[in-house]
Amino acid sequence: MNRFFSRKNIFMGAGSAVVFTAAAFVWSMSNGTALTYIASEHGNADAAASAATAMAPPPPQHIPTPDAVRAIYMSSWVAGTPSLREALVEFIKTSEVNALVIDVKDYSGKVSFRTGDSVIEKMGSEEERVPDMRSFIEELHNNDIYAIARISVFQDPHVVSKKPEIAVRAKEGGVWKDRKGITWVDPASRDMWEYIVHVARVSEAAGFDELNFDYVRFPSDGNMTNIAFPVWDGTTPRSDVLESFFSYLNAELYNLPVPISLDLFGMTMTNTDDLNIGQVLEKAAPHADYIAPMVYPSHYPSGWHGFSNPAANPYDVVHIAMAEGERRLQAMRALTASTTSPLYGKNIASLRPWIQDFDLGADYTADMIRKQKQAAYDAGVNSWMSWDPKNIYTKEAYIQ
């Protein structure tokens, strides 16, 4: 993602601090030197900077992205319960884990802390599950723990309730629901795109070091014969709609000093079609810093690559997926040097998979979790994020 604040250019070492406001930004290095740049559209830079300083909360400080991210997921409910989150933080401090993914906006559409953003407040989506989000992130930083904001995008019952005109509809009338009874926003809605940018910006302002976008897809897992879209024209390929959204995110978040990552279905590593959800690896990779395929072995169908139960073969499933994904991205990177290629000069995302630490399809042991990690390493990928919806991790799988 060729952003103005390139991660490689800004984050030169631990202890760096990055400050950005709408009127000014200050880049402070740990040796005490500072580079200050002030800009104003109205010509009075000093007044603009003074006003911004007086009105803005303390600017966020970020830590650099680790060379190898080893993350676990924490729900906003756990993050808002000190006794539970403290236990997980202590686990991180004594393990190989160096990063934490925290829900900012989950499947409910609720934003988990007070943002101070008028658009989000007007939507009524704030639910203060983590009242001390900023100080919690500071605590993580003090322990050299990288903080990643997870933002669920088009799966959003709250926005559906507030803006039914952009909700995915049922042909027979009413709002369409997936098999879990969850409602979705039309992925082609520019109103939703703009709203997500607001959520992303307040997440960075709270101190998160990375913005991770989940449910960046068209809906599935429901009655697909009874589905209608109020915004999508039904003609533009789904993958083109999502590529436009990814490009929009890239442009709108370009001036933030943190990377972005996109969660994709695991099968996007080996499938070249859009899986009927609009996700194609090659259409996402030029618009993000990291692609996070959910290569949970339990989520692959029986018979995939000859495995009757993919969940029982964690190394093979993850290695096949990541090796093929890495091959495809390397092919894209080769084209970035060609002046005749549409990819000329572009940054192509790196892979960082989600792996499974939950029982589904098989009882997942520490050895099975380690096999997933090793499969990624053997495919040339040194980072991973581990998912357990209950936040109860198999600690012996993450020994330092």
On whether both 53 and 173 belong to a single domain, the answer is no
- Report d(CA 29, CA 31) in Å as an integer: 5
Q: Of 63, 96, 115, which residue is a domain's last? A: 63
CATH number of the domain residue 217 falls in:
3.20.20.80
On whether both 54 and 68 belong to a single domain, the answer is no
On whether both 237 and 154 belong to a single domain, the answer is yes
Domain that holds residue 34: 1-63
On whether both 45 and 85 belong to a single domain, the answer is no
Amino acid (one-letter) located at 155: Q
- Report d(CA 149, CA 151) in Å as an integer: 6
Structure tokens at 292: 């996070």
Q: Based on the structure, what is the number of domains in the chain?
A: 2
**pTM exceeds 0.85:** yes
On whether both 71 and 56 belong to a single domain, the answer is no
On whether both 263 and 379 belong to a single domain, the answer is yes
Count of helices and strands (H, E) across the chain? 12, 14
Per-residue pLDDT of the chain (400 residues; tens, 9 = 90+): 544 444 434 443 333 333 333 333 333 333 333 333 333 344 454 554 555 445 566 788 999 999 999 999 999 999 999 999 999 999 999 999 999 999 999 999 999 999 999 999 999 999 999 999 999 999 999 999 999 999 999 999 999 999 999 999 999 999 999 999 999 999 999 999 999 999 999 999 999 999 999 999 999 989 999 999 999 999 999 999 999 999 999 999 999 999 999 999 999 999 999 999 999 999 999 999 999 999 999 999 999 999 999 999 999 999 999 999 999 999 999 999 999 999 988 999 999 999 999 999 999 999 999 999 999 999 999 999 999 999 999 999 999 8
On whether both 50 and 196 belong to a single domain, the answer is no
On whether both 91 and 42 belong to a single domain, the answer is no
Q: Of 16, 40, 63, which residue is a domain's last? A: 63
On whether both 5 and 114 belong to a single domain, the answer is no
Residues of the chain by 3-state class (helix, strand, coil), percent to 5: 40, 20, 45
On whether both 43 and 169 belong to a single domain, the answer is no
On whether both 48 and 73 belong to a single domain, the answer is no
Q: State the helix-helix crossing angle for 366-378 and 314-335, rounded to 10 degrees.
A: 20
On whether both 79 and 20 belong to a single domain, the answer is no
- Report d(CA 41, CA 211) in Å as an integer: 28
Q: Of 63, 91, 106, which residue is a domain's last? A: 63
Judged on CB neighbours under 10 Å (0-12, 13-18, 19+), 337 is: exposed
